[in-house]
Amino acid sequence: MTQTEPSASQQPASTAVRDSAPIIEVVNLKKWFPVKSSGVLRRTVSHVQAVDGVSFTVPKGGSLGLVGESGCGKSTTGRLLTRLYDVTEGQINFEGKDLAKLSNKEMLPLRSEIQMIFQDPYSSLNPRHTVGTIVGTPLQVHNVVPKNKVLDRVRELLEVVGLNPEHYNRYPNEFSGGQRQRIGIARALALQPKLLVADEPVSALDVSIQAQVVNLLKDVQREFGIAFLFIAHDLAVVRHFCPEVAVMYLGKIVEIADRDTLYNHPHMPYTQALLSAVPDVKQAAVGGRRQRIMLEGDVPSPINPPSGCRFRTRCWRAQEICANQEPPLLQIGPRHKVACHFAGEIDDPSPVPVTLDVLGCDERGNRLPGREPHPELSAPGFLPTYNDLETHRRRSAAIDVSMAGTSTTAVRHTEGGKSGK
């Protein structure tokens, strides 16, 4: 396992928020939904592997972006963190407590610490309740303020999110989509949470309203020090809001890095294809087009995902090892992890699998005797040491040259033996 200690020149510009202790740590999180057979005796015949072994951390007061195409498991991950879904397997460590093991009764005191902004501002608000009731109900349930102070607190929250405080007695149908989303944000802020799970909070809004809501969330984060798990499929919005971004594909995180590294130097083919579909305004201004990567085939079913790498059925780099061994989320930089056997930039992939040392296998994916996978592969967060791809390439090139020389010598000896007979 090639490990490199980052030098001062390699260290990215860090912030106190990014380097702070994590507010939440997710380890090997899984959520499988059972598939029932038809008929009178409905038996479980299979499982939908919606989330399958996800690990990440969110720093206190910071934000992590979670992106990917529809159906990859982003929203399910967010609902697992808020315990709207029960966890199949894994850990959700929140301030020393594993939320995955807590019952609903034990979770009740922690509900105020983790809140969620839902995707659809139309269906997430009860049309029969006024705005004052919607925002004030969490305050009454958790006894945050005295009953005679609830209305005053509701007005304060409406003012914080940019709404008229006197509109507390109106119903959701009297507001626009952007205003409804602000009401949802006010409801989430009512309990002063430490972590907000924002599930595509701007996807249903117009572009001009999106900017207002995103700027509002940034102001809220700055003022109250709230950590965010920001789930979205709009890569431009995520880049603006989140210092770190994780990319999901078919229930797994395939790449996670700081935003500059991920957007400018992606090493996972799926991430490269995803970013190639984003319109580049700067490039359009100077002329020319970004290379568009067109993926072939459909997304595999999460009920029966491919063996090994789940992206291999659509990947142009796929080889035999990709079917035999699942690539680990390998750290290749100070703040960069990628799950790909042939990680590398789009025009410079690794010629040999970069995961051989940590998996203990050969280039076809066959496990070598006496070799075990590295124990730190599933650890969330980033380590001070990492696998340097350039060192790996130089060593692989030296091995290839050595093997080529050995092969040539063997051929000469064989030819000499034949001629001497």
| 99: DSSP letter | G
Confidence bin at 375 (pLDDT 50/70/90) = low
pTM for the complete prediction?
Answer: 0.86
CA gap 135, 48 in Å, rounded:
35
- The domain defined by 22-35+46-281 carries CATH number 3.40.50.1000: no
pLDDT score at 417: 45
Spatial neighbors of 57 by CB under 8 A, at least 6 apart, are 22, 24, 25, 26, 64, 380, 381
What is the average pLDDT across 269-295?
77
Task: Quick: pLDDT tens for 10-39.
Answer: 444 344 566 678 899 999 999 999 999 888
CA gap 49, 304 in Å, rounded:
8
User: Cβ-count burial of 82 within 10 angstroms (0-12 exposed, 13-18 middle, 19+ buried)?
Assistant: buried
What is the average pLDDT across 295-312?
91
Tell me how far CA of residue 65 lies from CA of 45, 91, 227, 323, in angstroms. Answer: 34, 20, 11, 29
HSE (side-chain half, CA atoms, 13 Å) at 317 = 25
* DSSP per-residue string spanning 200-246: STTTTS-HHHHHHHHHHHHHHHHHH--EEEEE-S-HHHHHHH-SEEE
**By percentage, how much of the chain surpasses pLDDT 70?**
85
Is residue 41 scored above 90 in pLDDT? no
Is residue 93 scored above 70 in pLDDT? yes
Neighbours of 143 (CB within 10 A): 8
C-alpha 9, offset from chain centre: 27
Q: At what angle do helices 177-189 and 131-141 cross, to 10 degrees?
A: 20
Beta carbons of 199 and 230 less than 8 angstroms apart: no
Residue-averaged pLDDT of the chain: 85
Domain with CATH 3.40.50.300 in the chain: 22-35+46-281
CA gap 159, 256 in Å, rounded:
36
Kindly report the three-state secondary structure assignment for every residue of 274-289: HHHCCCCHHHHHHCCC
Confidence bin at 9 (pLDDT 50/70/90) = very low
Beta carbons of 83 and 31 less than 8 angstroms apart: no
CA gap 345, 359 in Å, rounded:
22
Task: Quick: pLDDT tens for 182-207.
Answer: 999 999 999 999 999 999 888 877 88
Task: Quick: pLDDT tens for 228-258.
Answer: 999 998 888 899 999 999 999 999 999 999 9
Tell me how far CA of residue 252 lies from CA of 54, 246, 398, in angstroms. Answer: 6, 10, 34
pLDDT score at 302: 93
CA gap 195, 225 in Å, rounded:
9
Q: How far apart are the first and last CA of the chain?
A: 46
pLDDT score at 205: 79
Is residue 105 scored above 50 in pLDDT? yes
Reduced to 3 states (helix: H, G, I; strand: E, B; else coil), residue 416 is helix
Tell me how far CA of residue 6 lies from CA of 12, 59, 265, 351, in angstroms. Answer: 10, 21, 18, 24
List the one residue out of 149, 186, 193, 140 whose CA is nearest residue 167.
186
